[in-house]
Amino acid sequence: MPRIAGIDVPEKKKILFALQYIHGIGAKFAGEILAEAKVDPDQRAGEVDEQSLARITAIIDGGYLVEGALRRQVSQNIQRLKDIRSYRGDRHKRGLPVRGQRTRSNSRTRKGKRKTVAGKKGVKG
């Protein structure tokens, strides 16, 4: 497996898609990186020569926030929202959707498994 920016990427996939295995690099950035490094996007990751891999790694290290640094920045941003007690921070703390989605009928992913609440059995009277 070739290592790009310290990450193992699959060698049988095209380099355009192999780069997307790096956290923080999607389709757009992968295309930009390959264009700047002058590497054919249809080439397999295992077939890319060492010189091209070094150019790709240098570009990623120079201008992109990836992997651990990106994860750290995202968690610091969320922690800052919690510390200043913003609405979004409170939603993160409670484990509820942050971006205004409805929670009455959906949002099971954020809320977790259903918790049954005892309701009224029947009204006698």
What's the rounded Cα separation, in Å, for the pair 33 and 48? 14
Task: Report yes or no: 41 and 14 within 8 Å, Cβ to Cβ.
Answer: yes
Q: What mean pLDDT comes out for the span 119-123?
A: 72
pLDDT at 5: 78
pTM: 0.77
Confidence check: pLDDT of 125 > 70? no
Which secondary structure element, helix H or strand E, spans residue 107, and what is its range? none
Confidence check: pLDDT of 121 > 80? no
Please provide the average confidence, as pLDDT, over all residues in the chain: 90
Q: How does pLDDT run across 20-71, given as a tens digit for each residue?
A: 999 999 999 999 999 999 999 999 988 989 999 999 999 999 989 999 999 9
Burial class (CB in 10 A: 0-12, 13-18, 19+), 111: middle
> Going from the N-terminus, what domains does the chain have, and what CATH number goes with each?
3-64 (1.10.8.50), 68-111 (4.10.910.10)
